[in-house]
Structure 1
Amino acid sequence: MTTLFALTDDQLAVREVIREIAGKEIAPWAAECDEDERYPVEAQKALTASGFHAVHISEQYDGPGADALTTLLVIEEVARVCASSSLIPAVNKLGSMPILLSGSEELKQAVLPSIASGEAMISYALSEREAGSDAAAMRTRAVRDGDEWVLNGTKCWITNAGVSSWYTVMAVTEPGVGARGISAFAVHADDPGFEVGAKERKLGIKGSPTREIHFQQCRIPSWRIIGEPGTGFRTAMATLDHTRPTIGAQAVGIAQGALDLSVSHLKDRRQFGKSLSEFQGLQFMVADMAMSIEAARTLVYQAAAATEAGAANATFLSSAAKCLASDTAMKVTTDAVQLLGGAGYTRDLPAERMMRDAKITQIYEGTNQIQRLVMARSLLR
């Protein structure tokens, strides 16, 4: 296969800048945000001030207009020090992608400039308690009433809910026809009948709030539908093709942070009269960790480039990248805890936080079991 990506000088410069910002302005707060389960306001301020909170939005809507690969670099470098903070640029892309793909020009002008400026953030609302992997089984309803749509139902596992002002919401507009009866909408936190639920108590990414959102006779203007009625599920799936590589980038960043920590520890710590870095068994472990990370990174970058180019195998690569990178992150972070020994198991070092954060990358935006189904269907259809 022809390689579809190579980092340009501009992308390398972006990586260096965001790495410095992450190290100086985000990393110092990462442990506190995890421990106190609080939103990383310092990261949001730093990312917004530097223009890295929503780099994917085009110049037409007052954004930087970064390509998919540059967006991944930002997410990866932030995740390297704080996975919760990396969800700021990642979820801004996830939430706005349906509008970018299918929204009317009126809707784009109403929503995207506020995201680009940092005035607002946006989340993505697809899942329900009884409609996770089987998203088409959703029960949230939207009914047309004159010049408005009226929404009723509940969405769950909504990342950054309560912080975001905008939400892209999938709801059934024509019952009984499955996925073809689902439409997408842009809902604002100030819309009457919209309510945010309590925070979930989570294993990881504790700095990023995850909540239910509720619609009780929630009324929105008719022009806030995203695309035509009945096209919402197709838009949702197309969105995930574009955003699964962002979860891959998050996973790669987490894994890289764990590897960096492990290498530093092996160099600094001594046992049996010599540096841990001199023990061949431990050398093999970090070699395998680094090898797996580089393989995952390459596939993630390739997937982003393929999706942006509209390549025929983009869906396969997107699922493969998310799956491989998240499995890699889980393995690498677990090995990092092992390499750090007792200290790695404590909250004094970030290895255990990285391991907890890595787990969610195997679950959200489609579990890795679902990714394997997607890949198989792409190959066999």
Structure 2
Amino acid sequence: MTMPIILVVDDEPRNFDVVEALLGYQTYELQYASSGKEALENLAMFPIALILLDVMMPTMDGIEVCTQIKANKDWAMIPIIMVTALTSKYDLARCLEAGADDFISKPVSALELKARVHSLLRIKTQYDQISELAQLQRNTIDLLRQNLEALQGNLAASFPHELNTPLNGIIGGLSLLLEEHTTMDAEERQVFLQMTYESALRLHKTTQKFLTYTKLELYLQNPERVPLHGLDGPKPSAMASIMKDIADSEKRAKDLQLVLGEAQGVISYADFTTLITELLENAFKFSSAGSPIQVVSQAIADQFVMTVTNQGRSITPEEVQKVGAFQQFNRQLYEQQGLGLGLKIVMSIITKYDGALNISTLPEGGTCIEFRLPLLQEASESHP
């Protein structure tokens, strides 16, 4: 845990030693400034948590220093304890008018100094916590504002359809079953139950995509303080298993071609699953059954490189530029409807791990999506 930094401002160097002895060097980190000018320079260099400021100093006295600090919005919330030999109410009032949070009289008592420092640092910690929460709220609002134009366009038009279509399927299927179940035979009931179930799955998938995208964007705005280099990505055998399951669900198992090396990227198992699911589902969606979908992974220098190639319709450079705007590619050519969030989710995951994404069109038709991640140097046994 980082010790709070206390700035001691006094033109008498021996007073610094006194403060150090009174507070104890193992509890706080102390910085020393012998003048008001030096104190302001220290504030620009160190994350000062509290200031012990002597009132009587030449050139720029403590009251002037306090006034300048409190006038700066970046420093205004740093608590200042004025250390003074002055005792008149007028002088003490001047200290408070300058913005001082507290004052202590010379000679300084160890017990009193520790109590006042501890109290003000506790208040400062509470203020910092509230400020961090407020910043998180501001970042969330900014994120929503940044995406508002896109949401008002393609998303605003698509979202009702994406929700209403499966919802209508669920309501319609259940209504028929409730009204006609006594006259239906077992096979008819099975058909309507299957249709209702598929509509529910589609609705669930749509909402999960939005939740995934939102969580990723919030992470990128406020990264978790967890070192990503400690993660262990899935091994090639696990990668293959994930991809085969996706191909099976799309009824395209025979079309999937895997050429996986032994390399692993620095990425969590869950994020890799989301990443490759989005890429493969797009590859299957925009290619015909019977055409190959090839996935190749290898280590190049210090990077894990994976490509997903299909021989279906190509994504144009213009469409690639619109990935971040929730663009659904050439909707008129496909019966499948979608919100175009898949590649945006892919980009957010890759950004999270400081990777890179490249989308290119093949000369003979089709699209190759390549992503690069930091290479995992030592395989972990956490996942098969």
Q: Which has the larger radius of gyration?
A: 2
- Higher RCO, Cα 8 Å, sep 6+: 1
Same fold (TM over 0.5): no
> With structure 1 as the length reference, what TM-score do the two structures score?
0.23
More helix by share: 1
